[in-house]
Amino acid sequence: MVITSTAIFVALIFLFKPLQKNNFFMLHMACVILFAYYVENTHFTVPPFKSKTLLLLLVYHLVFINFTTFIAYAVDKRAARTGAWRVSEKNLHSLEFLGGFLGALLGQKVFHHKQKKIEYQTTFWFLVFMEFVIAFVILNFLNII
């Protein structure tokens, strides 16, 4: 039996216990799992841990984490306007650090949200910088760059 990328994503949920409390991350994982299942069962099947599979997992992740981060900003902005329960900054920052910084930037621009908070912006840009540093180190280690 071939383990699919869908099974890999389901397993990843259980590896990241702190993220299980982040509802937006769980939404992200559900979208990725459903999309991976659909694509694998309708278009092609690839063995796990091959370059195509890992690239496919990365693309799924990046598309859906940015979409989920954008939705999280929309929900938080609406909650800010109505006085409802807000999305914690810790949850927003975790989504940004996991690759959703483009969705966060778009959410900040579209909803005019979190742009004037200096402390938030400092943390945001630090996380973006750290994400690029980590990506550079990994790509350098793998001799890709």
Question: Virtual CA dihedral for 138, 16, 19, 115, nearest 10 degrees?
Answer: -10
| Predicted pLDDT of residue 129 | 95
First-to-final CA distance of the chain: 35
Token pair in block for residue 42:
């309708």
Q: What is the pLDDT of residue 2?
A: 41
- pLDDT one digit per residue (tens) for the chain, 145 residues: 345 555 666 666 666 666 667 777 777 777 777 777 777 666 666 555 555 666 677 777 888 889 999 999 999 999 989 988 888 888 899 889 888 999 999 999 999 888 899 999 999 999 999 989 988 887 788 777 7
What are the boundaries of each domain within the chain? 5-114
pLDDT computed for residue 82 by the predictor: 92
Half-sphere exposure of residue 137: CA atoms within 13 angstroms, side-chain side: 6
Work out the number of other CB atoms within 10 angstroms of the CB of residue 90: 12
pLDDT at position 54 is 64
For 55, residues 6+ apart whose C-beta sits below 8 A from its C-beta are: none
- The confidence score (pLDDT) of residue 15 equals 65
CA dist 65 → 29, 102, 140 (Å): 8, 9, 24
H helical segments located in 17-117: 23-42, 51-82, 89-95, 101-111
